[in-house]
Structure formats: C-alpha cells, structure tokens
Amino acid sequence: MESPNMTLRDVPSEDRPRERMMLYGAQALSNAELLAILLRTGTYKESAVHVAQRLLIQCGGLRMLTDMSMEQLTEIKGIGEAKALQIQAGIELGRRLARSTMNETVTIRSPQDVAALLMEDLRYLQKEHFVCLFLNTKNHVIGQETLSMGSLNASIVHPREVFRAAIKRSSASIVCAHNHPSGDPTPSPEDVEITKRLVQAGEIVGIDVLDHIVIGDKRYVSLKELGFM
C-alpha cells in the first residue's frame, strides 16, 4: 500500500488507477481506486487514491457515501465542491444505470415491479423516505414523488399530502413505499397504521391505494400480501 505522503506521480505507472483500469478493466480496481478516478487529483501531500481511501474510512464505507450531502463531503480534507459534485454525479449515474433496463413506460403489476423500480434509490438511504408512485388507469407510472423524510426509525406522512399530489397528477391509483435504514423490511405498527389511514382516505377521494411496499437491503415486504390492506 502506498505511503500517505506519496503523491500519484510517485506511484509506479502500473499501480496508478487509470493505468490499471486500462490494462485490466474496471472490475480489477478497488472501491478506493475507482473513486480516485472520479476525484482525478489528490492534494499536495496525498495521492487521489489516498484521499479516496480516507474518504471511505471517514464516511463508513461505500454504502454510506451514497447518502452524503455536499456539505458533508466538503468537510473532508481534500474534497472541494468540484470533487464532491463529481462523486455525487458518479453515484447518480450508477443509480440510473441500475434502472435503465426497464422500459420508459413502467407498468406496476406486482410488488416485485415496485421493488425493481425503487430498490436502488431507497436501500442505501440512512433516513426513512416515503415515496408515492402515481398510476393511470392502465397502471402505468405517471409520476413519482418523495413526500417525506423522517428520522432513522420513523417516517411522518399525512394522507392530505399524499392525495393532494395524486389529484394534481390526475392519478387513478397510487402505490406507497418507504425504506427501513436498518435493512430489515418488517413492517412496524406505525407502518400498518399509516397504511390503513391512506386506504381509508383513498376510498373517500376515489383513488385506490394498491399497495404499500417496505424496502430493506435487497429485500422488501408488501403490506397487501401480508393482509394489512
């Protein structure tokens, strides 16, 4: 491993991430090396690889990096606004690539369809995000909106906000989803309660709530399949 005081020009060319990627492909590089390519340059005393290694250690690993804000990134020595933007752009491209195999018109036929659409967006988040998918009469997704962001263990959303957004889009029905930062998608009593409230409100305004999906880490649960709606 290179010395903390070694700059990239001091590293043998075959050990530099760009050269290694050209020779062996991206899959041969470590997370720090791939991140170093995004950063492009290090500091006067550190190579880009060492800055990337330190960034991953300080943020708690690649998974935690995906949820870091601009302010949090730029607090780390060697990461300015330009580098922070490059990191966030790379993360967003990865998310979009994960969704790119789906057709432009997404049709929701099952909980699996919801999970496929939202899993990569929600599974890494460190706070609960409550998301609604708005559907037309053919169950095509015509809109998606994050309606609340809660604490580490609670998401607060009011039916009024949900159905105001649904009516604005002339939705025929909606599907709700939120993540559990713990990675365990088991519904909480609060999840069950808000689902029942949303179903009741939907019956009043004439917009069906088709399901409520809880997203964990590569796992999900459908409250409809569990019999809570």
pLDDT at 6: 45
**pTM of the full structure:** 0.62
CATH label of the domain that carries residue 141: 3.40.140.10
Range of the domain at 23: 13-101
In a domain, residue 1? The reply is no
In a domain, residue 124? The reply is yes
pLDDT at 26: 85
**What distance in Å separates the CA atoms of residue 141 and residue 173, rounded to the nearest whole number?**
10
Structure tokens at 49: 């690889």
Same domain, 132 and 186: yes
pLDDT at 140: 95
Same domain, 120 and 181: yes
Same domain, 20 and 44: yes
Q: What is the pLDDT along the chain (229 residues), one digit of tens a residue?
A: 444 454 445 544 435 888 888 888 888 889 999 999 999 888 888 888 999 999 999 888 888 888 888 999 999 889 999 999 999 999 888 877 776 654 467 899 999 999 999 998 898 888 899 999 999 999 999 999 999 988 656 667 889 999 999 999 999 999 999 999 999 999 999 999 999 999 999 999 999 999 999 999 989 999 999 999 8
Choose the final residue of a domain: 44, 71, 101: 101
pLDDT at 129: 93
pLDDT at 101: 54
Same domain, 160 and 80: no
Spatial CB neighbours of 60, under 8 Å, sequence gap ≥ 6: none
Structurally, how many domains does the chain consist of? 2
pLDDT at 12: 45
DSSP for 168-216 reads HTT-SEEEEEEE-TTS--PPPHHHHHHHHHHHHHHHHHT-EEEEEEEE-
Taking Cα atoms as reference points, which of 140, 112, 144, 138 lies closest to residue 218? 112
Same domain, 93 and 182: no
